[in-house]
Each structure stands twice: as structure tokens, then as C-alpha cells.
Structure 1
Amino acid sequence: MNLPLVHESSDDAQIRLLQQEIQSLKAVLDEVEGKTVSFEAMLRQRLGELLIEEQELTVLYKQQKLAKKEKRLAQKRKGKNYAAPQGLVRSENSKKEMLPVQHQEYKRLYREAMLQVHPDKYAMREDATDVATELTTQLIAIYQSGDLKELQAFHAFVMGGEVPVAAERVPVLKQPLSTLTLLQREKTRLEEQLDSAKAQHLYQIWISYTDPMAFVEELEAYYRDRITKLRRRTRS
């Protein structure tokens, strides 16, 4: 006895195709994000201390320039009666006394927070660079104050990621969305997420360099040179 052939409907065929495309998109997205995360972790491991010192010296240099400008203005106003204020000193002597274990935790929190908000991380986003610069300046001031609780609060804030936006009220649908519509929306969402992941600066470096380690070496040389110059400029 021959069984009748069951023909796949048009919707069923589209659903099956969309499911395959979604699985493919997820696999590519996982691969792209995995490479980006691994590359960033390697950069932090290799360049973390250089990034932190460069940013500390940059903030100090800006402070010293501002202090010199204010000093010149004050001297013009006061003339011969001018008395020079004490200069800025890069020192950790202002830190509060703490136990060795607390000090290790203090340094860990500072390092993690600094790498999270370092302006170079947002080099491809002009809108975020100024905010990152301001946050690093605040972080350095907190670190120099020696206030562990304040540093913990700052660390928790910056490691929390994006500030959630208040969700708009979702209208109640009279009829549930079809499986086909839901899959089409999921595919669109994944395509947008994949485009965003591929546009990340570190991923672009990963795919544009034949040997990504060459970029790391270039970056390391750049920061060492910049730190040498900043040390000379901020020498008191």
C-alpha cells in the first residue's frame, strides 16, 4: 500500500529556511564575538600596565598645564606680590593606611576599572571618548585619595555595563504573532547584532592584520614611547 505524499506548505518551507539561517547567524556571531573577546583579553594582559600608566601621566600632564596657566594669570594679577602655590606632585602618600590584603584588592579594583573606562577603548566612538576621559580622571582622583569604599562603588558602576534605558510600555497584541513573523524578526535582530560585532575596532584589526600580534607590538612600542615623553614632561 502506497502512502500519499505530503507536500510541504510554503510557510513550512520558509520556517525551515529561516531556522537554518538563524542557526548559521548565531554560529558566525559566536565566532566573531569569541575572537574579539579573546583578542581584547590578550591586549589587556600584554598592555594593561602601559595603558594605565599612560592615562595617569596624561591626566597629570593636563593638570600641570592648567596649574601653570593659572599661575601665570595669578602672577599677572598680583604683580610683585605674587607668591607661587605649591606644585602638583604625583604621589601615593595621600592614600589611607590599609592592610596588605586590602591594598591588593584596592589595586585590583583600580586596574579593572581603568581598563574598562580607558579612552582608547572607545577610540571609534567620538561620543564616548570625552565621557571616558572624564571617568578616568575621576578614577585616578579616587585612587589617590585611598578611599576603598568609594573605589568599590566606582568599580561597581563602570563594570555594570550600559545604563539600562527605561522600557516603554509594550502594547497588548490582540492576536499572537505567527511563527514565521517571529523567526523573521529574530533573523533581523541577529543580522543587526552581527553587523555591530563586525564593526568593533578590535575585530577590524583582527581581520585586517595578517598577524594580529604585529599590531600588538606596534601598540606596545607606541605606548612605551608616549610614556617616556610624558614622564619627561611631568617631571617635577
Structure 2
Amino acid sequence: MTKNKLSVSSDNEQEQLHLKAKIILLQKELNDVEQKINDFEAVLRSHLIDELIEEQELTVLYKKVQLVKKEKRFAQKKKGKNFKEVEGLKVIAKSNTNIASEDEQKEKKRLYREAMLFVHPDKFSMHDEKIDLATEVTTKLIEIYQTGNLGELQIFHTHIFNGNAMMHFPESSDKNIIYKEDAYLQNELLKLENQLQLAKTKHTYKVLTEYENPLTFIDELKEYYQDRIFKLKKRTRKASMFDL
């Protein structure tokens, strides 16, 4: 009986060692893949910084314009034929009571551009459905940049770069306390496998591994963003970032 228990214990230890070894290898592979992606996306950002920022600003503006139109249609429906449009887009007047110095304005612009580029989680996918992911954070960032002071922008900038603004909170891991060690390790292994799979399905990783010269992707992105910017400008030509 004792020998059987020792045998089972030894088998469990071997299984745990095997799982831990697989976890270490997967973690290393994940780190390598993510590092390659981050380095490549840094290169892309350096060539597309103006296009990325302008596209995000126009996207937020377009959503505001659509909201105003929706509200006007609703008001018109409520009032019927007697409805008269008496107001257009309202312009927010800038306050002259707290004019920032030139150095503060430069610092605000630097923080704003950094945060704007950091916010979008998958800016190089060229899939329209990804655009909505960070609109709320982008909207808040633009609002603070336009109407807030340097201190407020610094706080929100830190909030974004700490990962809190785009944080996805997983389900409580309290249940892991009652898991057996091997069940916990299996769960960690599964999570790493999923993370690795997601990393490898990123469009930028596919470009890195499938393009003969990945840098040609820059031209594709420029064309894509120029087209989006052109279309967004047409849709928002009567508005501006200071409207609404």
C-alpha cells in the first residue's frame, strides 16, 4: 500500500515537472513572439504617427456627429411637422482664465500623441470592427487635451500607460485555491497556449512571418489610413474637433 502511494506521488511529481517545463517553454515562445510584434509595430508607428492620430480623432468626431443626428431625428419625430431646427453644432468656447504656457502646450501635445498611439489595441489589423475597441478612452483623451490642464492630462496619460484604461479584468481566480497543483498548472498551460495563439493570429505577426519584405506593409497601411481619413473627412466636413 505504501509503495503504491509512493508510486502515485512520484507519478504526480513527474507530471507536474512535465507541465512546468512546458509552461516555461511556452512562456519563452510567447515572450519572443510578443517582442517581435512590439518591435515591428514600433517601426510602423514611427512611419504612421500622423495618420494614426488623425484617423482616431476623426473617428471620435464622426461618432459625435452621428449621435447629434440621431438626437435631432428623435426630436423631429417627437415634434412632428412643427419641428424647426434652430441649432446646429455647438462650439465649445475656450476659457481664457487658464491659458497654458508654450512649454505646457508642447508637453500636453507630446503626452497626447503618445497616449493616442498607445490606446488603440490593434491599430494595424486594417479591420473596421477593431476601430470601436478604444473609442471611449480616445474620446476622454481628446476631451482632456482640449479642455483640461497639463496635470489632468499627465494623470490620464499615466492611467493609460499603466494599462488601466484598457484593462480587461479576468474572472476571479479564487477558485484556483482549491485546485490541485496539477490542475492549476494545466490551467496555466491552457492560458499560455491561448495567449500564444492570439499573438500569432495578429495581423502584424502574419506580416512578419509571411511577407518577403515586411516593411512593404507600411505602404499598405498608408493607403488604408489615407482612404479612411478621406472618407471620415467627407462625413465630418461640417464639424470640427471643437464642435459638440
Query: When the two structures are superposed, what TM-score results if normalisation uses the length of structure 2?
Result: 0.67
**Closer, same or farther: CA 74–209 of 1 in aligned 2, 3 Å:** same
Work out whether residues 61 and 236 of structure 2, in 8 Å CA contact, stay in contact via their aligned partners in 1.
yes
**What is the rounded CA distance, in whole Å, between the counterparts of 2:192 and 2:132 in structure 1?**
30
1:177-216 mapped onto 2 (5 Å cutoff): 194-216=196-218
Work out whether residues 33 and 197 of structure 1, in 8 Å CA contact, stay in contact via their aligned partners in 2.
yes
**Closer, same or farther: CA 88–45 of 1 in aligned 2, 3 Å:** farther
1:58 aligns with 2:59: yes
CA RMSD in angstroms comes to 4.3
**Closer, same or farther: CA 227–111 of 1 in aligned 2, 3 Å:** same
Work out whether residues 124 and 204 of structure 2, in 8 Å CA contact, stay in contact via their aligned partners in 1.
no
**Closer, same or farther: CA 124–168 of 1 in aligned 2, 3 Å:** farther
**What is the rounded CA distance, in whole Å, between the counterparts of 1:48 and 1:31 in structure 2?**
25
**Closer, same or farther: CA 149–131 of 1 in aligned 2, 3 Å:** farther
User: Gaps (5+ residues) in structure 2?
Assistant: 1-10, 239-244
Q: Tell me, what secondary structure is at the counterpart of 2:86? A: coil
1:138 aligns with 2:144: no
Tell me: higher relative CO, structure 1 or 2? Use CA pairs within 8 A at least 6 residues apart.
2
Work out whether residues 26 and 192 of structure 2, in 8 Å CA contact, stay in contact via their aligned partners in 1.
yes
Work out whether residues 74 and 82 of structure 1, in 8 Å CA contact, stay in contact via their aligned partners in 2.
no
**What is the rounded CA distance, in whole Å, between the counterparts of 1:18 and 1:134 in structure 2?**
40
1:229 aligns with 2:231: yes
1:168 aligns with 2:168: no
Q: Tell me, what secondary structure is at the counterpart of 1:44? A: helix
* Stretch deviating more after TM superposition (146-155 or 23-32): 23-32
1:53-92 mapped onto 2 (5 Å cutoff): 53-75=54-76, 77=79, 79-80=81-82, 82-88=84-90
Q: Deviations over 1:109-136 (max 9, x none)?
A: 2112211222643969999864512221
The letter for the 2-side match of 1:67 is V
State the 1:202 CA deviation.
2.1
Work out whether residues 123 and 129 of structure 1, in 8 Å CA contact, stay in contact via their aligned partners in 2.
no
Work out whether residues 22 and 189 of structure 2, in 8 Å CA contact, stay in contact via their aligned partners in 1.
yes
**What is the rounded CA distance, in whole Å, between the counterparts of 1:22 and 1:134 in structure 2?**
36
**What is the rounded CA distance, in whole Å, between the counterparts of 1:140 and 1:188 in structure 2?**
39
- In terms of Rg, which structure is larger? 1
Q: Deviations over 1:18-39 (max 9, x none)?
A: 9997886566445323311111
**What is the rounded CA distance, in whole Å, between the counterparts of 1:221 and 1:24 in structure 2?**
39
Q: Deviations over 1:154-194 (max 9, x none)?
A: 22222112467676387599xxx8xxxxx999988866654
The letter for the 2-side match of 1:143 is Y
Work out whether residues 92 and 144 of structure 1, in 8 Å CA contact, stay in contact via their aligned partners in 2.
no
**Closer, same or farther: CA 154–212 of 1 in aligned 2, 3 Å:** same
**What is the rounded CA distance, in whole Å, between the counterparts of 1:83 and 1:133 in structure 2?**
29
The letter for the 2-side match of 1:41 is A
* Stretch deviating more after TM superposition (76-85 or 33-42): 76-85
User: Gaps (5+ residues) in structure 1?
Assistant: 1-10, 178-182
1:149-168 mapped onto 2 (5 Å cutoff): 149-161=151-163, 162=167, 168=174
Q: Tell me, what secondary structure is at the counterpart of 2:174? A: coil
Q: Deviations over 1:180-218 (max 9, x none)?
A: xxx999988866654444333321221122221222211
**Closer, same or farther: CA 28–127 of 1 in aligned 2, 3 Å:** same
User: Matched residues, percent identical?
Assistant: 45
1:41 aligns with 2:42: yes
**Closer, same or farther: CA 42–68 of 1 in aligned 2, 3 Å:** same
